[in-house]
């Protein structure tokens, strides 16, 4: 029963990683970039592998996903500025998504996940 409790805690702890992966994959899918979408979905598969290397790969992908959100925010904001549209809401939302994605990296610093992935 104790092992099941740890598993449930580990699964709940990785929810931010799952959400971040799904968001960036949806972003790439919307633009028809299927290879990048697959890379964005890779963390969902890698979460099933209880090895420190899989965690590092997930963290690397999440860093890149954060950069994608910042790049997207910049380019969308510049396009909106060029046509005289407001950019405040767009920047707030996309920077929040970038921040959430980046913060997802740190879920692996919790005691539960350090033990689960043997970090």
Measure the CA–CA gap between 33 and 110, rounded to whole angstroms. 33
Which residues in the chain land under pLDDT 50?
Answer: none
Question: How many beta carbons lie within 10 A of that of residue 42, not counting itself?
Answer: 15
Question: How many beta carbons lie within 10 A of that of residue 55, not counting itself?
Answer: 24
Measure the CA–CA gap between 72 and 82, rounded to whole angstroms. 15
Measure the CA–CA gap between 99 and 7, rounded to whole angstroms. 27
- Say what the pLDDT of residue 119 is: 83
5-15 confidence digits (pLDDT tens): 888 888 889 99
Q: Note whether 91 and 3 are within 8 A (CB).
A: no
The token pair at 11 is: 């699964």
Measure the CA–CA gap between 44 and 76, rounded to whole angstroms. 28
Q: What percent of the chain stands above pLDDT 70?
A: 98
The model's pTM is: 0.89
81-95 confidence digits (pLDDT tens): 999 999 999 999 999
């Amino acid at each position: 029963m104790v092992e099941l409790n740890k598993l449930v805690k580990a699964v709940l702890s990785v929810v931010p990683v799952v959400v971040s992966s799904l968001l960036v994959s949806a972003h790439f899918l919307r633009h028809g970039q299927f290879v990048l979408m697959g890379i964005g979905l890779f963390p969902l598969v890698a979460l099933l592998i209880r090895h420190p290397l899989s965690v590092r790969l997930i963290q690397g992908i999440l860093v890149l996903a954060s950069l994608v959100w910042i790049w997207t925010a910049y380019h969308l904001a510049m396009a909106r500025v060029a046509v005289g549209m407001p950019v405040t809401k767009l920047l707030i939302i996309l920077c929040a998504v970038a921040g959430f994605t980046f913060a997802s990296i740190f879920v692996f610093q919790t005691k539960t996940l350090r033990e689960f992935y043997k970090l």
